Every structure is written in C-alpha cells, then in structure tokens.
C-alpha cells in the first residue's frame, strides 16, 4: 500500500547563545526566536480499535516529547560551549539559565544533537525524517536522516 506519509510539526522557542571565537558579532551573547520543524515518516495506524487509527503519530504526543526534551530545557536559556570563556564567566550568574553543551552552539550543531535526543523517543514504526531549525526568518539549517548514518 502506498501510504508512507511524512508529518511535520512546528515549534517555537527563544534561546540565547554565544559563539566563542567567532570573528564577528556572534561571539557576543545574543538571542534568536528559533523555529524548529520536526518531520517524521511512517504509515498511518490501520487498527480500527486503536485510538490513534489513521495517524502516523499523534501530534499531541510529538508535542509532549519535544516539550520535554527540547523546549523545557532550551527555551529562554543561554547555550554555551562547555569549555568557552562565556561559560566560565556566566556559570555562576544567578540571573542566567545556562545550558553548557560539548559543541559550538550554532544552528548547525544543535541539529544532530536534537536528532539524537529525539530518535530514541519515537514509537515503533515511526522515524525521524528531518529537522529544520530556523535561527532567523531568512536563515536555517537542516538535518536529514538520509544524509547521516546511524
């Protein structure tokens, strides 16, 4: 049956970051209104007894997972590389919600990290097809499962 379907849900969060060592303005602490598009692929549940009949994955369940794994942690946070000067200077700032990561927190580097968080949480038969992360209205990066081996 030709019913492999991609479903996408869009999330918004506000996040600050600083790119230590960058040769421009991004070295400074600044923020973006991020837009994360999560695209899953699978087949709609054919079971007429299932409350999820006709769904690849309930959008509400996807929302719950993204909120728990990503939004609750990164929204209104300052994300810094764990070995950066910014982290050292901000680590004890009581007014900052710091998330230290082991990579430069660019849009590009956030994507495989988000993908790795997400792939383990998806139900059987549902796969992550791609993620798109908008940093601004005109700039985004994408991660595709098909471009990456697991």
Q: Which of 17, 22, 76, 120 is catalytic?
A: 76
Residue 142 is a catalytic residue = no
Q: Which of 17, 37, 135, 142 is catalytic?
A: 135
Q: Which of 14, 22, 26, 129 is catalytic?
A: 26
Residue 44: CB partners within 8 Å, gap ≥ 6?
Answer: 3, 5, 53, 54, 55, 56
Residue 107 is a catalytic residue = no
CA dihedral 101, 105, 107, 111 (to 10 degrees): -20
Tell me which DSSP letter residue 4 carries: -
Residue 124 is a catalytic residue = no
Query: Which positions are annotated as active-site residues?
Result: 26, 76, 135
């Amino acid at each position: 049956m030709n019913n492999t379907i991609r479903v996408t849900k869009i999330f918004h969060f506000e996040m600050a970051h600083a790119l230590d060592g960058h040769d421009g303005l991004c070295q400074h602490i600044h923020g973006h209104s991020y837009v994360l598009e999560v695209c899953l692929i699978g087949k709609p549940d054919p079971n007429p007894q299932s409350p999820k009949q006709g769904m690849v994955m309930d959008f509400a369940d996807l929302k719950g997972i993204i909120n728990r794994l990503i939004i609750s942690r990164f929204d209104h946070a300052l994300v810094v590389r764990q070995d950066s000067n910014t982290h050292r200077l901000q680590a004890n700032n009581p007014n900052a919600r710091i998330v230290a990561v082991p990579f430069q927190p660019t849009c590009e580097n956030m994507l495989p990290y988000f993908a790795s968080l997400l792939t383990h949480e998806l139900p059987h038969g549902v796969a992550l097809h791609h993620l798109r992360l908008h940093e601004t209205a005109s700039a985004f990066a994408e991660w595709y499962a098909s471009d990456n081996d697991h």
